[in-house]
Amino acid sequence: MCMKIKKVLSVFILASLLVSCATPARLYKNGEYYKATIASVKRLRSKPDDIKVQDILTKTYSLAIDYLQQSINDLQYEKDPNKYYSIVKYYNMLNTMANEIMRCPKAYELIPEPIDFLAELQAAKETGAEEFYSLGIEALEQNDVKQARLALFYFDNANNFIRGYKDINSMTKEAQNKSILKVAVQKPLISTKYQLSSDFFFDNLLEGLNNANYRNRVDFFGQSSRSTNNNAHQIIILDFVDFTVGNTVESRKIIDCKRDSVITDYVNIRGQSYPVYNTVRARFIETDVEIVSAGILSVQVIDSKTKKVIRKSEFRGRYIWTSTWATYEGDQRALNQRQIDLYNRGIEIPPPPQTLFVEFTKPIYAQTIDFLTDYYYHY
């Protein structure tokens, strides 16, 4: 409990010190004329007979006006359009002082004609809006994706000063359309035998690219590799430069199996049947099959105007289908349970070539998506 009381007292003392540091007199002494004016008006609302504060207000108000007007005049020589944010801020401060004085009887008595700058404020907003609007139009006329995005930035700033300035809404829509990078993704040329599988890979890749989060700044669309599209800013060329499907590697193991003390027959002795034990043998043939499919995809990103290669890479994929089956010669009773299960499994039919093609492209798909999404996310 004592610790809590100490903490509360510490906070109270700190707050009291901060308040005392922000008195009109201290602010005036530090040259913070705007803050001193506002603080003086607030003090006069509760203590209108405070002679010292009255004196401070009459001094700081004119000094604050001079300082803020000089700051505005200095900014007029700067070329950066962002200066209008500061100019508007200073005019708001000037108007805030006039408004605060008019709302305080004693302050209004001391300064019966506080100056408002409403007309100047509006003019600054209009000038700021026009400055950014003009920059946006200039950037938009470049017919370039990055310049269109810059135009959006300028139009957004113009709206900050005057909402709906001129035809800015329609210009913004035009800039949004021009700011989208249009990318044509060309289907890879491949033999008819694997066309369906190649198309499956291509369709999934196109869907994956469009589903990635590019903040609505990139649009991918497919086209045949021989077609051209003047609307595309960039072209992605996909080409299976090397692939093989269905390379079979087969190996066999032959194991001689035997088992002792196996009942092979029965004999009848004096009307009683007795088992006959012998050793049984079998020749077990185990076959391991690997069907290897692999390929390399070349990916190039090309500027549609200059035909310059912007980015390129190659990605490898590999898929191995495996199967094991067995046959035997001789007596099955010589086999162990695993060998019997393997024999009963029978010969597996390998997947068709189209399926094998799809399988080896799966790791290629993942690498290609990572490669392209990383590039376009930062575009």
Query: CB–CB of 49/107 below 8 Å?
Result: no
Domain match, 331 and 228 both: yes
Domain match, 189 and 142 both: no
Point out the domain boundary residue: 74, 93, 116.
116
Q: Is beta strand 218-223 parallel, antiparallel or unpaired with respect to 272-303? A: unpaired
Query: Tokens 């193991």 belong to which residue?
Result: 253
Domain match, 150 and 233 both: no
Q: Domain for residue 279, yes or no?
A: yes
Query: CB–CB of 376/312 below 8 Å?
Result: no
Read off the pLDDT of residues 10-37 as tens digits, 9 standing for 90 and up: 433 443 344 344 699 999 999 999 999 9
Query: CB–CB of 139/148 below 8 Å?
Result: yes
Point out the domain boundary residue: 93, 116, 139.
116
Point out the domain boundary residue: 116, 142, 159.
116
**What is the value of pTM for the model shown?**
0.71
Domain match, 168 and 187 both: no
At 230, is the pLDDT very low, low, confident or very high (cuts 50, 70, 90)? Answer: low
For position 138, what pLDDT does the model report?
97
Tell me how far apart the alpha carbons of residues 58 and 326 are, in angstroms, rounded to a whole number.
107
* Range of the structural domain that residue 366 is part of: 182-377
Tell me how far apart the alpha carbons of residues 124 and 131 are, in angstroms, rounded to a whole number.
10
Domain match, 264 and 369 both: yes
3-12, 98-107, 186-195, 200-209: least confidently modelled range: 3-12
Sign of CA pseudo-dihedral 174, 180, 181, 184: negative
Domain match, 287 and 358 both: yes
- Phi, psi angles (nearest 5°) of residue 214: -110, 20
Domain match, 189 and 329 both: yes
Q: Domain for residue 255, yes or no?
A: yes
Given a cut of 80, whether residue 146 has pLDDT beyond it is: yes
Within 10 angstroms of residue 220's Cβ, the number of other Cβ atoms is 23
Domain match, 263 and 347 both: yes
Query: Tokens 């090309």 belong to which residue?
Result: 302
Query: CB–CB of 174/138 below 8 Å?
Result: no
Question: What is the number of structural domains in the chain?
Answer: 3
Residue from 353, 352, 323 nearest 251 by CA? 323
Tell me how far apart the alpha carbons of residues 305 and 234 are, in angstroms, rounded to a whole number.
8
The DSSP bridge partners found for residue 330 are 282
Q: Domain for residue 4, yes or no?
A: no
Query: Tokens 């000038």 belong to which residue?
Result: 127
Q: Domain for residue 373, yes or no?
A: yes
